[in-house]
C-alpha cells in the first residue's frame, strides 16, 4: 500500500543531510521532470525573486540555495496541520519505519518523493510560474510511477496535476456529512498516524476497510473512493 500526501507551503528550515542529489531520490523514472524543474527554478532565481517581505525573502533564499543547502527527510521537511497531526518525529521506531516504507509525498519541484528521501527547503507550489515550464507538462505522467494500491490523501489540485491511475481518494467529513476545511488536513494526518501505529499492510481498499472496522476507525466507502468521519475536530486521542 502507498499513501499519497500533498506537500505543504510551509517547510522546516535547516537540515543535517548532504545537499540534494536527485539520483538518491525514489522513483528514478521522474529524473527528466526533476531536471527540467530544477533548471527552471535556476532561471527564476537568475531573473530575481520578490523579497519584499521577510517570508518572501526567506523563500527566495531557499530557492537560490536549493542545490547546495542541507537536506532532511521529506516527512520532516514539510510542516503544517497535516504533518503536525501525523507527528512523524514522535512515532515509535516501527511506526516511523512504516511511514518511510509506505508514504509518498507529491512535490511540485521534485515530483513524487518517499517520506525518507532527503530534500532541501524550497518555495515552489502547483501555482508557481517557472520560466519556460508548465507544471502540468512536468508532472502529468508522473502518476505512472506509483504501483499497487494507493490511498490518495492529496488535495484536488495536486491530484489533478499528477493523476495516479486507480488511486482511492479519501474525503474528510464531519459526523453530519459536511466537508471540512482546516480539519480536513488534520484528519488526513491522523489517519496516516493510525495506519503507521497499527502497521497496516493492505493491498486493496476492501482489506483497508476491514482493518478500519476492526480498529474502530470511521473509514467507509463513499460514492467515489473512501470517506473518513472526523468526529472530534481536535482529534483528541488520535494515537
* 236 is a domain residue: no
How many angstroms separate the CA atoms of 155 and 160, rounded?
A: 9
Evaluate whether residue 130 is within a structural domain. yes
**Structural domain contains residue 121:** yes
In a domain, 56, yes or no: yes
Please give the pLDDT value at position 37: 98
CA 235-230-190 angle, 5° bins: 50
Q: Provide the residue range defining the domain that includes 200.
A: 2-229
Look up cell 527554478; give the residue. Answer: 41
pLDDT in tens, 151-193: 999 999 999 999 999 999 999 998 888 877 778 899 999 999 9
**Ranges assigned E (strand) in the chain:** 2-5, 72-73, 103-107, 111-114, 118-119, 150-152, 168-173, 219-221, 226-229
* Percentages of the chain per state (helix, strand, coil), in multiples of 5: 40, 15, 45
* pLDDT range class, residue 212, cuts 50, 70, 90: very high
* Residue 94 CA neighbour count, 13 Å, CB half: 6
Q: Is residue 204 part of a domain?
A: yes
Domains of the chain: total: 1
Q: What is the dihedral sign for C-alpha 155, 159, 227, 168?
A: negative
In this prediction, residues 129-147 reach a mean pLDDT of: 96
Domain membership flag for residue 72: yes
Domain assignment present for residue 54? The answer is yes
CA distance 208 to 225: 12
Q: Is residue 237 part of a domain?
A: no
Amino acid at each position: 500500500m502507498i499513501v499519497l500526501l500533498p506537500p505543504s507551503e510551509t517547510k522546516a528550515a535547516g537540515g543535517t543531510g548532504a545537499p540534494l542529489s536527485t539520483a538518491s531520490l525514489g522513483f528514478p523514472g521522474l529524473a527528466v521532470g526533476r531536471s527540467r524543474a530544477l533548471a527552471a527554478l535556476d532561471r527564476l532565481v537568475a531573473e530575481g525573486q520578490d523579497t519584499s517581505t521577510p517570508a518572501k525573502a526567506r523563500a527566495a533564499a531557499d530557492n537560490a540555495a536549493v542545490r547546495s543547502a542541507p537536506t532532511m527527510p521529506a516527512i520532516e521537511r514539510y510542516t503544517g496541520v497535516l504533518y503536525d497531526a501525523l507527528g512523524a518525529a514522535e512515532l515509535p521506531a516501527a511506526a516511523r519505519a512504516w511511514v518511510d516504507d509506505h508514504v509518498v509525498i507529491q512535490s511540485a519541484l521534485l515530483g513524487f518523493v518517499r517520506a525518507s528521501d532527503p530534500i532541501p527547503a524550497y518555495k515552489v507550489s502547483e501555482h508557481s510560474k517557472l520560466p519556460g515550464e508548465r507544471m502540468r507538462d512536468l508532472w502529468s505522467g508522473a502518476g505512472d510511477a506509483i504501483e499497487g494500491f494507493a490511498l490518495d490523501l492529496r488535495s484536488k489540485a495536486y491530484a489533478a496535476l499528477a493523476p495516479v491511475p486507480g488511486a482511492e481518494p479519501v474525503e474528510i467529513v464531519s459526523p453530519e456529512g459536511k466537508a471540512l476545511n482546516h480539519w480536513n488536513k488534520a484528519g488526513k494526518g491522523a489517519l496516516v498516524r493510525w495506519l503507521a501505529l497499527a502497521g497496516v499492510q493492505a493491498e486493496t481498499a476492501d482489506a483497508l476497510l476491514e482493518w478500519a472496522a476492526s480498529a474502530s476507525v470511521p473509514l467507509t466507502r463513499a460514492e467515489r473512493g473512501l470517506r473518513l468521519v472526523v468526529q472530534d475536530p481536535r482529534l483528541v486521542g488520535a494515537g
